[in-house]
A = this chain, B = another copy of it.
Amino acid sequence: MVNIRAETAGLPAHEIVYRRLRDMILFGELAPGQPVTIQGLVERLETGMTPVREALRRLIAEGALAFQGNRRITVPVLDRAAIEELTLAREALEPQLARRAALRCDEAALARLTATDARLDAAIAKGDVTGYLVENHQFHAELNAVAEAPILTDLVEGLWLRFGPSLRVVCGQFGTRNLPDQHKAILAALAARDADAAAQAMQADVAQGMTQIAAGLPDSIDSE
C-alpha cells in the first residue's frame, strides 16, 4: 500500500501541488518563519505558476501559510497565544471526533488503527522523526475518517496544518525520545465502544502533544 504520493493521475495540477505542499508542511520540510516564494516553488515542483498560486491561496486560507502584508508568504511562527488557541480548539473538537469514532468503529477500522500505531511505535524506536510525524498524523486521520464527520475533520486537519512545522522543530530538538501518547488508551476505548473513554483519552493525547510543542518554543520572547 503506497500511502504517500499515491494516485495522482488525472488530478489537476493545482491539486497535486496542494497535496505536495501540504505534506511538506505537515512533515516538516518547511521550517517556521521560512519564506515561500511562488517562483521558487515553480522551479522546485516543475510546474506552472497558476497551479502554485492557487495551492498557496488555499493553504493561506487554512492557516498553514501566512500572508505577510507586503505580499510575502512565510511559514507562520507560533507564539504562546497561538499555541493556547490551538490547544483550546483541538481539545474542543478532537475528543468529539473520538467520541463519534467509538460509536462507529468496526473491526476492520480497529485493525487498521492498531497497525498504524505499531508502525508509529517502530518509528519512535528507530528515532525516525519523519516516520513518527507521518504515522502519528495517519493515526489521527484514520480515526477521523471513522467518525464520519467531514466538516469537523476538515477543521481539525486545518489545525494540524498550523502546528505541523512547529512539531517538526520539537522533534528536531528532542528526537523521538520522550514522545508519549495516549494511543493505547484510545484504541482500548474504541475496542470497548466506550465513547466517553475515547473522548477523555483523546483529550489527554491532545494536551500532551500541545505541551510538547509549547516546550519547544523560543525560550525568551525577544522577537518584535
Interface residues of A (CB under 8 A from B): 12, 14, 50, 53-55, 57-63, 71, 82, 85-86, 88-89, 92-93, 96, 149-152, 154-155, 158, 162
Contacts and interface: CB of A to CB of B under 8 A. Distances in A.
Contacts of A71: 12
A151 B93 contact: no
Contacts of A154: 63
Enumerate the 10 nearest inter-chain pairs by beta-carbon distance, A residue then B residue, closest first: A92-B92, A61-B61, A85-B151, A58-B61, A54-B57, A57-B58, A57-B57, A85-B149, A85-B152, A61-B62
Nearest to A153: B85
Contacts of A158: 155
Contacts of A50: 50, 53
Contacts of A57: 14, 54-55, 57-58, 61
B151 A82 contact: yes
Contacts of A155: 89, 155, 158
22 contacts: A12-B71, A50-B50, A50-B53, A54-B54, A55-B57, A57-B58, A57-B61, A58-B58, A58-B60, A61-B61, A82-B151, A85-B149, A85-B151, A86-B151, A88-B152, A89-B93, A89-B151, A89-B152, A89-B155, A92-B92, A92-B93, A155-B158
